[in-house]
Structure 1
Amino acid sequence: MPLRLLKYALSKEYKETRFFRENVTPKKSYDAVIIGGGGHGLAAAYYLAKDHGMTNIAVLEKGYLGGGNTGRNTTIVRSNYLTPEGVNFYDASVKIYEGLSEELDINLFYSTRGHFTLAHTESAMRTMRWRAEVNKHVGVDSYVVGPDEISKACPQLDISCSGHAPILGALYHGPGSVARHDAVAWGYARGADRLGVDIFQSTEVTGIDIKGGKVQGVQTSRGYISTPRVLSAVAGFTPRICKMAGIDTPIVIHPLQACVTEPMKPWLDSILVSGSLHVYVSQSSRGELVMGSSLDPYEVHSTRSSLDFVEGLTSHMLDMFPFLSNVKIVRQWGGMADMTPDFSPIMGKTPVEGFYLDAGWGTWGFKATPISGKTMAATIANDMAPDLIKPFRLSRFEEYELTGEKGAASVGH
């Protein structure tokens, strides 16, 4: 049997279809250029082609597809946010995710687990009740549970947290899920490619040509491209791209780190988050525990990881799960989180005509991939932001109309 498989694999008669078309050289002009080949940029390209018939589009990625924050997150999808604007936005994303594997014809390993945000203090419990009421008001499945219900869902959890921070309750969010981050990026990329979008890796944008307040084109490592529309979807590189366009944003970049353990037999069905202990954890389809913490408390434009992070995280993990003391950490990594003052994204038009921004995603960008792509595609096609993302406009900082999500976005990725 192995020999027969080898003969089949090497046979020219049964060539494997390429995942993408082979695009070698960008054209001289496009109707739109998307900077950033992560989930958001690729999703925007896909929906521009699918929903709006715009196929003369180039996606430019200076590295490889999904190599930025799309491939450096912990794959959690949820919509149990604090503000009505945030809850509605992320709920729309969850609804798209639920049918996305079928739409993109790729297995995203989308798995609904249920999401517990643990509360260790009375003030945290008040916040959980607040979030639950906001969620219920807009039709999202979230409610407060007590220690007994948490123990029933996860009997391995030490409710006392080794006596350091006993768990008083939690916000339970039924739709909380996980998905394969690389599959999301590649699924959107293949979908866009099949609709005629040109995708170029190892292609860096080095300048944005603006005349009379309007976008004229972009300068790249492969030459000049003329275009009237540019979307920046580059996560931690947003300040650099915005500087090319002469736009100031309140974004600052902080590292966000995560790690995985060696594979184990499945035992953790739910997603657990503790804001007090700065821990969030789920178990992957391969049996690894995927774990993360809060942002590093300093501004660094780097994807390096540190011993300090993994020591602090594992200490709190052992408070929750003492039996994991002999389990090995096999890999850790870092990403660059572009943080805004109100812990909400920046989406839509900018003062430069034809320059659009999809940024400020901090620690919550992966879960928003489908709806950000869909709404930014509509913004570019119509030169007008849909109502769903108007609260996230760049001008809100000048207008003092912030969307304060810190209470629901700072740890529960």
Structure 2
Amino acid sequence: MAISSNGHAASRTNGNGKLRGYSAWSLFQHGVSDAQWPRAWRGHDLADTYDVIIIGGGVHGLATAYYLAVNHGITNVAVLEKSYIGGGGSGRNTAILRSNYLTPEGVRFYDRSVKLYEHLAADLNFNVMFSQRGHMTLAHNDSSLRTMRWRAEVNKLQDVDSDVIDPGEVKKLVPHMDVSPYARYPILGALYHPPGGIVRHDAVVWGYARGADAHGVHIHQKTTVTGIDVDAGKVTGVQTDQGRVSAPVVVNCTAGWSTLISDMAGVEMPVQTFPLQAAVTEPVKPFLDTVVVSGTLHVYVSQTDRGELVFGASVDPFASYSIRGSLEFTEGLGGHVLELMPALSKMRLLRQWAGLCDMTPDYSPIMGPTGVEGFYVDVGWGTYGFKAGPVSGEAMADCIAHGRPPEIISAFGIERFAAGRLVGEKGAAAVGH
């Protein structure tokens, strides 16, 4: 499907706002003819005023726009993206989904996101390729095993399916895993989370963009925000390289640049930005059904539907805005993966990349209103922002529509840092996935 930003929406709706699909025959006709595919979303001139301006055209910004329109009927919305839709963190992640976090607040939040992902393809009428293949976090020492049991009990109290399994069960799920007691990092057990899995990140972004556009949202690519106008403690609009636009509500849904945008409104964010690297191998016959994570080795691996193995690790140990890969990362990553699955030694890495992660002191996001009236933030997602896209969009839309945070994100307000009410998720979010 074309993803250009101009075209016509009428061909994609059935008259009642629902997105219309294509029959098998129409797909065949387009495939064998020179007929033009309808555009996935339209292009618009930048209006002088909107009810809501969302800065950031990734999954969080687009989901917020979509749920504002669908759940609250707020359609006079602009999404401003300095590059192309999904070109930031949404296009530079490994798209692993899970809800087996450590705090009750985190578990409830991410479980809602997994449930939204489960029927997202039907809601958007767009295949997001969600594969619930299970998520396994390995324990290599007694301390890790205690943490896994802690997380499992917290998950169960929130009705989330997670349990600690022994090395024999690990071997059944991943036959290529070295679970012998003679391994350098012996596997004592694992936290197994069946609802976890992987999704196609660009499909999610395109689906939300298409859905938001069908409900009247304006999506503006190649539009850079250069300033935010504040008068008497209230937001009045934004300055862009295309001109000034007025709006009583501005939402910061950026990653990597969240502090820069918040500074424009005079709001300081306790956020540091770190690169996160990942790599992918040549495709091979599918053999790995489960996402495998090792916090001790700071590595995780999953296999795509095309057969490639996707590897990732924790964030780089220094703050930076660089998105270049490094040989040091590749060497360390390769060694750690082979500690777990020695049989992969002959596989070839095809490419590696990096994205930018905004880390908060407690490894939890910052969501909701700020000290500037009309200025909202949905930032600080660290290494786990993509899995939270649907629930974040739903919750932020509710927050904007009603002027107060819903209960599901009430613990993530910026005021928690001054009050000392941190939501410590480092024990469940220290590896970059």
TM-score of the superposed pair, with normalisation by structure 2: 0.92
Q: What's the offset of the Cα at 1:222?
A: 0.4
Check if 1:102 corresponds to 2:122: yes
Q: Counterpart in 1 of 2:206?
A: 186
- Residue aligned with 1:106, SS: coil
- What is residue 324 of structure 1 aligned with on the other side? 344
Partner SS state of residue 329, structure 2: helix
Which SS does the other structure have where 2:50 is aligned? Answer: coil
2:39 is aligned with what amino acid?
Answer: R
Letter of the 1:139 counterpart: D
TM-fit CA distance, 1:177:
1.1
In the alignment, the residues of structure 2 paired with residue 298 and residue 7 of structure 1 have an alpha-carbon distance, to the nearest angstrom, of: 48
Which residue is 1:384 aligned to?
A: 404
Cα deviation code 1:340-380 (max 9, x no counterpart): 00000000000000000000100010110000000001111
**Which residue number in structure 2 is paired with residue 155 of structure 1?**
175
Q: Which amino acid aligns with 1:84?
A: P
Matched residue, 1:114: 134
Query: Would you say the 8 A contact 2:30–2:37 is kept in 1?
Result: no
C-alpha displacement of 1:301? 1.3
- Equivalent residue for 1:266, pick from 276, 286, 291: 286
Contact 1:93/1:367 (8 A) holds in 2: yes
SS at match of 1:341: coil
CA distance in 2, matches of 1:101, 1:191: 11
Query: How many residue pairs align between the two structures?
Result: 406
Q: 1:196 to 1:287 in 2, by over 3 A?
A: same
State which of 164, 178, 193 in structure 2 corresponds to 1:173: 193
Alpha carbons of 1:8 and 1:174: their partners in 2 closer, same or farther (altered >3 Å)?
closer
Change (3 A) 1:218 1:112: same
Unaligned runs of 5+ in 1: none
Give the counterpart letter for 1:403 in structure 2.
V
Instruction: Describe the SS at the equivalent of 1:235.
Output: coil
Select which of 330, 335, 343 maps to 2:355. 335
**Partner of residue 47 from structure 1, selected from 67, 83, 106:** 67
Structure-2 separation of matches of 1:349 and 1:396: 12
SS in 2 for 1:112: coil
Is the CA contact 1:275–1:412 (under 8 Å) kept in the aligned structure 2? Answer: no
Matches within 5 A, 1:256-295: 256-295=276-315
Partner of 1:238 in structure 2? 258
SS of equivalent to 1:362: coil
Alignment CA distance shift 1:299-1:412 (3 Å) = closer
Q: Structure 2: which amino acid aligns with 1:354?
A: G
Q: Distance in 1 between matches of 2:392 and 2:198?
A: 18
Name the amino acid aligned to 1:141.
Answer: D
Determine which of 56, 62, 65 is the counterpart of 2:76: 56
- Secondary structure in 1 aligned to 2:257? helix
Q: In structure 2, how many angstroms separate the alpha carbons of the residues matched to 1:168 and 1:268?
A: 20
**Counterpart in the other structure of 2:224:** 204
Contact 1:345 1:360 in 2 (8 A): yes
Partner of 2:91: 71
* Residues 274 and 412 in structure 1, CA contact (< 8 A), matched pair in contact too: no
TM-score normalised by the chain length of structure 1: 0.96
Residue from 91, 99, 104 that aligns with 2:111: 91
Aligned to 1:19: 40
Aligned residues of 1:256 and 1:294 also touching (Cα < 8 A): yes
Question: C-alpha distance in 2, partners of 1:197/1:5?
Answer: 30
Q: What percentage of aligned pairs have identical amino acids?
A: 57
Residue 255 of structure 1 corresponds to 275
Q: CA deviation at 1:163?
A: 2.2
Whether 1:363 and 2:383 are equivalent positions in the alignment is yes
Find the partner of 1:373 among 393, 399, 419.
393
Q: Residue 127 of structure 1 corresponds to which residue in structure 2?
A: 147
Q: Closer, same or farther in 2 for the Cα pair 1:79/1:7, shift >3 Å?
A: closer
CA distance in 1, matches of 2:319, 2:355: 12
Matched residues in 2 for 1:371 and 1:280: separation?
24
SS across alignment from 1:172? strand
Alpha-carbon distance in 2 for matches of 1:90, 1:249: 23
Q: CA deviation at 1:249?
A: 1.2
Q: 1:225-280, CA deviations, whole angstroms, 9 ceiling, x for partnerless residues?
A: 00000000001100100110111111000110101000011000001000001110
Flag the 1:353–1:150 CA change in 2: closer, same or farther, 3 A. Answer: same
**1:175-202 deviation line (CA, Å, top 9, x unaligned):** 0110000011110000000000000100
2:25 alignment partner in structure 1: none
The one-letter code sitting in structure 2 at the alignment partner of 1:21 is R
Shift of the alpha carbon at 1:15?
3.6
Pair 1:34-2:34 in alignment: no
SS at structure 2 position matched to 1:111 = coil
SS at match of 2:311: strand
Q: Is the 8 A contact 1:161 1:320 kept in 2?
A: no
- 1:95 and 1:279 map into 2 onto residues whose CA distance is 26
Change (3 A) 1:330 1:149: same
Question: Residue in 1 aligned with 2:330?
Answer: 310
What amino acid sits opposite 2:308 in the alignment?
Answer: E
CA distance in 1: counterparts of 2:261 and 2:420, whole angstroms: 25
Q: Which runs of 5+ in 2 are unaligned?
A: 1-27
Q: Is the 8 A contact 1:273 1:412 kept in 2?
A: no
1:7 deviation in Å? 9.5
